[in-house]
Structure 1
């Protein structure tokens, strides 16, 4: 799929879209990524659900949402009426739940792509996260791909806290993923030393923000090196145009902005503006010309525009 620019919202951080629409026209985004939609309504985890950490944020929301019926009745039509390029994130506890969601979305022409959130616990395998096992991740992706329209890309979103991120990514691609999102939040924990209790009611939560950017860059770098033909959406700690360019040079062809929006609702537009300025300063006419460029061996007389790698969603 073609996007007018490479800056997306990260799943869950833009709410339903209505919240951000108070600040700017969502059509200015490369695409809007929804929160992870589930088959049935979910209340989420008990509060407190968020805790600040040095250069980061811990969250334990638990995929709170109204379920797919309400999403199709209220949220997707609202986005479609405004011409918002929409990528729908889906999450489930079983392979059949992912399949059900993909089948429900199959006839919705307002959807540009389906992002499969593989950081959900597998209820049929002792709660092990789907994305930490290549075969389990591939099974979900294959099931979603089988019932999704051929012209709608399936994007697998992977957690970073795995033994071999490349092996899991390869399994997803073999299972039918058209692209990958790297990374979802790694697990972290914080203790309130005054209350002498975990800062989150759930104990552990997902760590996001600038603290995880080096982890995201490493994962994008490794997966792009192993699978150079697979488009990657780089997510994790993007707060500036320089952060976005770092992920692009590592191999991402688009970037997601998440936690930065909690402080600055204009973060996506600011990151885009800063990224465009940085690209112009370095002589790039297109984002595609910078994708994966850091992998190119350094050598005398090699110009920035020689033998550039093409990659696009």
Structure 2
């Protein structure tokens, strides 16, 4: 059987199938549908230093081949997460990646240091890219601020660091280079695209916050393009996110340069998907005569040399399997 385990610098996973933050709750919600121990890892919903009530409703609306959400990082805060959720999450038999967000570098660092005291956490994912709140998430649109928060968290935590990046910038590769050079172990690409749904009869946006983040199959071609472009600009391992709902989607992200993937919106309508993808990945690799996931990563045969759009960086050669 092909090897499914992957390494993203200091983060080692049993397989590349993860579930994305904000789409899997705190895992207990999915226990009737998922064997957690068979996943590469789980990422619970974003945790902030203090409780957040989130944005006004409505918070979600379906669109053509997608979902707009404006949750606003609704959560009970770091201490409640530690008291109520951390122990059950650590006992699920898979890698636990904690997604954190703050309004300043100091808040990110303080959260990382607090979580550093607990065993059983595989990595931290820095949410510097949520389009539905203001404050620290704006770090993801500025390469200097991105580098600052990644560097400081890396310097104050023993845990591997994943920087989750936004597509809502002129050049994602530019931000990716900053995060990579600052010491990120991996880059998660991508968070949601800003979008809007409108009730024309009422002359009002449907979402209570006006603008939300678009996810789902509609964004997959855009996410693939960004993963491919970033893979040409950095050697840091990538995690592909955006519209994954089949094994073919997974394989496309791997070929474009992702070492792992996160299943997001599909968890809402097909909660058992992530488990099935693990089995289907093994079968797909075997059918191609491949011995490991790494044999497929970054093997896209692009028809001509690529310069990342709107990027001032000189693309590097894509490594043939991180």
Q: Same fold (TM over 0.5)?
A: yes
CA displacement at 1:80 relative to structure 2? 1.4
The match for 2:181 is: 174
**8 Å CA contact 2:47, 2:101 repeated in 1:** yes
The match for 2:55 is: 45
Alpha-carbon distance in structure 1 between the residues aligned to 2:180 and 2:233: 12
1:273 counterpart = 2:284: no
CA displacement at 1:54 relative to structure 2? 0.5
Local SS of the residue matching 1:253? strand
Q: Quick one: which of 128, 135, 148 aligns to 1:139?
A: 148
1:246 counterpart = 2:252: yes
CA displacement at 1:23 relative to structure 2? 1.8
Local SS of the residue matching 1:293? coil
**8 Å CA contact 2:68, 2:212 repeated in 1:** yes
What are the superposed Cα offsets for residues 186-232 of structure 1, whole Å, 9 maximum, x if unpaired?
101110223331110000000000011111111110111111x3111
Alpha-carbon distance in structure 2 between the residues aligned to 1:141 and 1:7: 24
**8 Å CA contact 1:240, 1:270 repeated in 2:** no
The match for 2:169 is: 162
The match for 2:313 is: none
The match for 1:106 is: 116
CA displacement at 1:100 relative to structure 2? 1.3
Unmatched tracts of structure 2, length 5 or more: 1-10, 305-318
What are the superposed Cα offsets for residues 254-311 of structure 1, whole Å, 9 maximum, x if unpaired?
000010010011011123333333222222121110000004779xxxxxxxxx8231
The match for 1:218 is: 225
Q: For residues 1-313 of structure 1, what are the structure 2 equivalents within 5 Å?
A: 1-120=11-130, 123=135, 129-149=138-158, 152-227=159-234, 229-295=235-301, 309-311=320-322
The match for 1:303 is: none
Equivalent pairs counted in the alignment come to 297
**8 Å CA contact 1:242, 1:275 repeated in 2:** no
Structure 1 stretches of 4+ with a deviation exceeding 6 A read: none
State the superposition RMSD in angstroms. Answer: 1.8
Local SS of the residue matching 1:294? coil
**8 Å CA contact 2:102, 2:137 repeated in 1:** no
Unmatched tracts of structure 1, length 5 or more: 299-307
**8 Å CA contact 2:34, 2:275 repeated in 1:** no
Higher relative contact order (CA 8 A, sep 6+): 2
Alpha-carbon distance in structure 2 between the residues aligned to 1:297 and 1:195: 48
Q: CA 1:112 to 1:191, structure 2 compared with 1: closer, same or farther past 3 Å?
A: same
Alpha-carbon distance in structure 1 between the residues aligned to 2:65 and 2:161: 32
Alpha-carbon distance in structure 2 between the residues aligned to 1:2 and 1:167: 26
Alpha-carbon distance in structure 2 between the residues aligned to 1:188 and 1:109: 39
Q: Which moved more, 1:191-200 or 1:134-143?
A: 191-200
Alpha-carbon distance in structure 1 between the residues aligned to 2:101 and 2:13: 24
